[in-house]
Amino acid sequence: MDKKHVMIIAEAGVNHNGDLELAKKMALVAKECGADAVKYQTAVPELVISMYAPKAEYQKETTGDKESQLEMVRKLHFDFESHRKLKEYCDQIGILYLSSPFDIPSVEFLATLDLPYMKVPSGEITNYPYLVAVGKTKLPIILSTGMSVPEEIEDAIKVLKDNGAGEITVLHCNTEYPTKYEDANLGAMLWLRDHFHCPVGLSDHTKGYECDVAAAALGAVVIEKHFTLDKNMEGPDQKASLEPQELSDMVQAVRNIEAAMGTGVKAVSSSEAKNKPIARKSIVAARKILKGEVFTEENLTTKRPGNGINPMLWNTVLGTTAVRDFEPDELIEL
């Protein structure tokens, strides 16, 4: 993971509603908005959700409660061949394809697509056999940590590493859709970095993108954000997603902060150096001073410009004598 460049993942998720052409369009829009990657979800629904699993409250609010979670998800997922086509399309247009697998066959399939990272979603962080399979891919891991406590994260990291996983980047996350700002708890991202000594980032589900900009300033190396082509479309995650213009604005804001972070070393920048003599002051004559006159606090003062004697040498200049006559406001010379 490049520590100097924030990888922005535009999370398409299931906002394509099972329409492959719409999923491709989302990839193109994500690229046009400046995202580094577009991410989907790969699953065999029957291997992920039992027929008895209820919908989450936010899913009921956005899609109703007439169908089961399994019935809802069946309509939203592609088969493996469709994901292969999506990957080929993303390669063609020049945006990184990523996907979160939700079951072991999906892990094994994605491992055949020559991906640079495997993304572990928050819900799988306690799924031991799944984590073993992910680790065995030997890929670098991006691990979301929504709904988890430190011990669970530690256990998941151990399982992944014990089974051969590459570098693990840990994303702070809150899995309420949308997340209230008071629940975002961005400081936890810094705790994750310091506690696990690993790269960190943010998987953000707040309505806006203030948290993403703040995360960039706090040192995130990955920012993941849901997006949609239209928040009014059907689907469980549309309302908690950014529309294209918002995504574009978010990407630009993060890039601005990325540039603004600089080297971290306090120094005079090349752009401000020209303003130094204009904004700073020099020691000048407060009134007419004759040659041989002693410099005192009464006949000296400080004024712009700053290309004369530095006022920090005030006490050095006091008590010396004028080498020539000085008119009022003239720069003092020794």
Q: pLDDT of 260-297, one tens digit each?
A: 999 899 999 999 999 999 999 999 999 999 999 999 99
Look at residue 216 and tell me whether its pLDDT is greater than 90.
Answer: yes
Residue 59 is predicted with a pLDDT of 82
pLDDT band at 56 (very low <50, low <70, confident <90, very high): confident
Look at residue 3 and tell me whether its pLDDT is greater than 80.
Answer: no
Residue 66 is predicted with a pLDDT of 79
Q: What does the pLDDT average to over 179-192?
A: 97
Same fold, 7-261 and 270-317: no
Q: Which long-range contacts (CB under 8 A, 24 or more apart) does 180-186 make?
A: 180/206, 181/206, 181/210, 181/211, 184/211, 186/211, 186/214, 186/215, 186/218
> In the CATH scheme, what is the code of domain 270-317?
3.90.1210.10
Look at residue 1 and tell me whether its pLDDT is greater than 80.
Answer: no
Q: What does the pLDDT average to over 203-226?
A: 97
Q: What does the pLDDT average to over 11-24?
A: 95
What proportion of the chain, given as a percentage, has pLDDT over 70? 100
> Cα–Cα distance between 100 and 106 in angstroms, integer?
9
Residue 239 is predicted with a pLDDT of 82
Look at residue 55 and tell me whether its pLDDT is greater than 90.
Answer: no
> Cα–Cα distance between 311 and 296 in angstroms, integer?
13
Look at residue 150 and tell me whether its pLDDT is greater than 80.
Answer: yes
Q: What does the pLDDT average to over 11-28?
A: 95
Residue 13 is predicted with a pLDDT of 93
Residue 331 is predicted with a pLDDT of 98
pLDDT band at 64 (very low <50, low <70, confident <90, very high): confident
Q: What does the pLDDT average to over 247-251?
A: 98
Residue-range domain boundaries for the chain: 7-261, 270-317
Topology (CATH level 3) of domain 7-261: TIM Barrel (3.20.20)
**pTM (2 d.p.):** 0.89
Look at residue 65 and tell me whether its pLDDT is greater than 90.
Answer: no
Residue 68 is predicted with a pLDDT of 87
Residue 117 is predicted with a pLDDT of 97
Of 2-6, 80-84, 188-192, which range is least confident?
Answer: 2-6
